[in-house]
């Protein structure tokens, strides 16, 4: 989705500029007054209406299965993957503890993050706080065993090691473990403040695991929500949740409403 900013002395002039660029499909998303060269002008952010509609449709995820409806008599498996420091483990704790995420579903955790110093201790603490069962998988056989231990639950959340372009050999160790878990969803966890080139590199780095969703984190670290729609558009994946703070579980929010609101689109236009 391409966003363009236009400025002119009055609203009708700036609207004509937007229409000249996008044609009859132009839609104004945001309007404000700004000072330019010592005088006040009108600034609008505009886009193609058809591209906005396509972005909304792509961003909005399908509904989760009804609790108790299980694929092949197994839990629904949601894995979180992403760069180191993106907040995957804390987000898993928020998901496990937030009633708006899974309602009455019973939740368990599996961690593949056996490389990071204190990583096991961190997720074990979160599992204890949230009352969730936790399993650790060091290899594919462990993954099968772990799923057997958690088979009576509705959903299993999977924590994975942080990934960077320089950790290829390590990835070869845990990707087969993730595949053995047969995740229904893989959420690419990305800090909201990432530069565009870094975000695209992370997307490329994780492309082989075929992420199904994106999950933006650390919105509290950016001055405002202006850039989150650009980031979500660039990643081109549906998004269920985002996080905007460190509080567990309070700082987990539905993603489409917040992202579309950053474009001036009202929450009523977004499916739950």
CATH code: domain of residue 252: 3.40.50.300
Q: Do residues 193 and 218 make contact, with C-beta atoms less than 8 angstroms apart?
A: yes
Give the model confidence (pLDDT) of 18-42 as tens digits.
999 999 999 888 888 989 888 999 9
Structural domain range at position 253: 76-261
Examine the domain organization and report whether 165 and 45 are in the same domain: no
The fraction of the chain above a pLDDT of 90, given in percent, is: 51
Examine the domain organization and report whether 41 and 160 are in the same domain: no
Q: Which residues of 214-237 are buried (b: 16+ CB within 10 A; e: fewer)?
A: bbbbbbeebeebeebbbbbbebeb
Examine the domain organization and report whether 199 and 166 are in the same domain: yes
Examine the domain organization and report whether 55 and 80 are in the same domain: no
**What is the torsional sign of CA 46, 50, 53, 55?**
negative
What's the pLDDT at 267?
40
Q: Is the pLDDT of residue 6 over 60?
A: yes
Number of folded domains in the chain? 2
Examine the domain organization and report whether 38 and 131 are in the same domain: no
Kindly report the average pLDDT of the chain as a whole number.
88
What's the pLDDT at 270?
37
Helix or strand (DSSP H, E) at 241: strand 241-243
What's the pLDDT at 70?
60
What's the pLDDT at 202?
87
Identify the weakest region by mean pLDDT among 14-23, 33-42, 192-201, 263-272: 263-272
The fraction of the chain above a pLDDT of 70, given in percent, is: 92
Q: Is 189 helix (H, G, I), strand (E, B) or coil?
A: strand
Tokens of 139: 């290899």
Examine the domain organization and report whether 162 and 91 are in the same domain: yes
More confident position, 271 or 226: 226
What's the pLDDT at 97?
93
The average pLDDT across 131-155 equals 95
């Amino acid at each position: 989705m391409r966003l363009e900013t236009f400025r002119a002395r009055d609203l009708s002039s700036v609207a004509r500029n937007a229409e000249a660029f996008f044609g009859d499909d132009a839609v104004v998303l945001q309007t404000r007054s700004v000072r330019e060269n010592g005088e006040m002008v009108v600034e609008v952010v505009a886009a193609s209406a058809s591209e906005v509609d396509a972005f909304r449709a792509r961003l909005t995820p399908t509904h989760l299965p009804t609790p108790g409806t299980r694929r092949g008599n197994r839990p629904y498996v949601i894995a979180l993957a992403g760069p180191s420091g993106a907040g995957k483990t804390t987000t898993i704790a928020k998901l496990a503890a937030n009633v708006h995420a899974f309602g009455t579903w019973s939740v368990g955790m599996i961690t593949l993050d056996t490389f990071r110093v204190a990583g096991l201790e961190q997720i074990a603490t979160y599992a204890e706080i949230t009352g969730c069962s936790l399993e650790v998988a060091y290899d594919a056989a462990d993954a099968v065993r772990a799923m057997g231990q958690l088979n009576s639950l509705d959903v299993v959340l999977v924590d994975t090691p942080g990934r960077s372009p320089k950790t290829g050999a390590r990835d070869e160790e845990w990707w087969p473990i993730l595949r053995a878990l047969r995740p229904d969803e893989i959420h690419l966890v990305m800090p909201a403040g990432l530069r565009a080139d870094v975000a695209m590199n992370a997307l490329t780095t994780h492309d082989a695991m075929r992420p199904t969703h994106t999950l933006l984190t650390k919105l509290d670290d950016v001055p405002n929500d202006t850039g989150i729609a650009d980031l979500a558009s660039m990643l081109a994946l549906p998004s269920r949740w985002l996080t905007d703070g460190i509080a567990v579980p309070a700082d987990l929010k539905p993603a489409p409403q917040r992202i579309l609101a950053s474009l001036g689109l009202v929450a009523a236009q977004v499916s739950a």
